[in-house]
Amino acid sequence: MCKRQNRSNSVFDSQKPLVVLLGFTPCNLQYYRLALLHKSALVTDGNGQKLDNERLEFLGDALLQAIISDVLYKSFPLQDEGFLSMMRSKVVKREHVDELAEKIGLPSLVQGRANNNSHMYGNALEALIGAIYLDQGFDKCKQFVENQLLLRYVNLERLAKIDEDFKSKLIGWGQKQNKIVRFELIAQERQDGNRTKFHSKVYIDDTEMGLGVGFTKRQAEQNASKQALRKI
């Protein structure tokens, strides 16, 4: 059983908002205080040691990746590794995690100063997942991700139909800028199970701008285009 803890004068003066957000009553509030503490709050402990949620964010990021991988593996039994990897990237990409944090109401609980270039709330969500794991264990952590995030705010079937067509975006940019965009298949590797891995490069006016790998030629070109778009 959880031991009743003393609460400081913070967002935890009432546990109700946190309990509603989590879907359960936490045991060790210290984990959650730390998870919702951004470094910009400039908080230190009694020894002058800086306190923030970055270590919990590291842990929560790994847990989120693992949980989403498990959910996708079971939800799409006929899809290959390339599809599952693409779907996981869509779910856990920084902008999407930021949106999830906003939807569950984290901005009202996080302590710190946000700025336009910050992923403070998405990082706090990952830290919160780390806190749940330390406080409640993996099963409860997985339940939170599935019930409080995925079931409420993520439509996996709809997300699967969203095609992030980086190749078309790159070619469209090239046309507007009077640049020549071309792709070159540089290698094919036979994998176990008679699968082939493709390696493609993309050039803009004969300058190499991206290298992509995938289990189809199109996927390799998409990944190369994505890399190139980050550079232009």
Pairing assessment for the beta strands 50-51 and 181-191 based on DSSP bridges? unpaired
* Band of residue 9 on the pLDDT scale cut at 50, 70, 90: very low
pTM of the entire predicted model = 0.69
Q: Is 61 a catalytic residue?
A: yes
Q: Is 193 left (phi over 0), alpha (psi -120 to 50) or beta?
A: left
Q: Which residue spans of the chain are classified as CATH 1.10.1520.10?
A: 11-161
- The whole-number average pLDDT for the span 10-39 is 84
Reported as a pLDDT band with limits 50, 70 and 90, residue 159 is confident
Does the pLDDT value for residue 10 go beyond 70?
no
CATH 1.10.1520.10 fits 11-161, yes or no: yes
Mean per-residue pLDDT for 174-184?
93
| Whole-number CA gyration radius for the chain | 22
Out of 15-29, 36-50, 63-77, least confident range = 36-50
Numbers of helices and strands, H then E, in the chain: 11, 5
Question: Residue 70 catalytic?
Answer: no
Tens-place pLDDT, residues 132-141: 999 999 999 9
Of the chain, the percentage scoring pLDDT greater than 90 comes to 56
CATH architecture of 166-231: 2-Layer Sandwich (3.30)
Number of Cβ within 10 Å of residue 92's Cβ equals 18
What percent of the chain has pLDDT above 70?
Answer: 89
Q: Please give the pLDDT value at position 164.
A: 65
Q: pLDDT at position 118, please?
A: 67
Residue-wise burial string across 182-192, b where 16 or more C-beta atoms lie within 10 A, e elsewhere: ebeeeeeeeee
Which residues of the chain are in CATH 3.30.160.20 domains? 166-231
Choosing from 52, 57, 98, 126, the catalytic residue is: 126
Q: How far apart are CA 232 and CA 219, in angstroms?
A: 20
- Distance between CA atoms of residues 221 and 223, nearest Å: 5
Q: Which member of 52, 61, 98, 221 is catalytic?
A: 61
Q: Tokens 């400081």 belong to which residue?
A: 8
43: tokens are 């908080």
> Is 108 buried (19+), middle (13-18) or exposed (0-12) by CB count in 10 A?
exposed
Do you know the residue count of the chain? 232
